Structure 1
Amino acid sequence: MSTHINKVHHVTTLAKVAKDLGEDEDWLWDIANEMEIDDGVIWVYGVGEDGVQAFTDLASTT
């Protein structure tokens, strides 16, 4: 029997990545919408929130 272990220990929101890169958030949103989970993009949900798009460590290695 094999157990999947999530190796993601942090995420960075799309808004922060856009700010850090000096890029437009809408431009990065368009790019991220074409990405898959394997590319390091996920949705993060909180209480009462619609969710935000975020990147895992995997995004920097692809």
Structure 2
Amino acid sequence: MAAVTRVFTPRRAARMLERDEKLLWDLADRFEPEDGVLWIYEIDNDDGIMAFTDFGLENFKEIIADQIDRKD
């Protein structure tokens, strides 16, 4: 597996996938690090910031195609 070289915030990922940010938050609740989700911690933010790798974006695309777009 290739090394992670960049991550995307939920807002950026939602824009890239042309989806609502809340949808990504709901879907990401089931993600594990091996699915492409990471938590980033700053010195003044103990809660952390969720971010997605390129692999995480691909997982979102698959889930959306299989579970959401298929219903439409």
> Post-superposition shift, 1:29?
0.1
Query: Structure 2: where are the runs of 5+ without partners?
Result: 60-72
After TM superposition, where is structure 1 displaced by more than 3 Å over at least 4 residues in a row? none
Q: TM-score, normalization: structure 2?
A: 0.65
Structure 1, unpaired ranges of 5+? 1-5
Q: Which has the higher contact order (CA 8 A, sep 6+)?
A: 1
Richer in helix (by share)? 2
The number of equivalent residue pairs is 57
| Residue 10 of structure 2 is aligned to residue 51 of structure 1 | no
2:38 equivalent among 42, 45, 56:
42
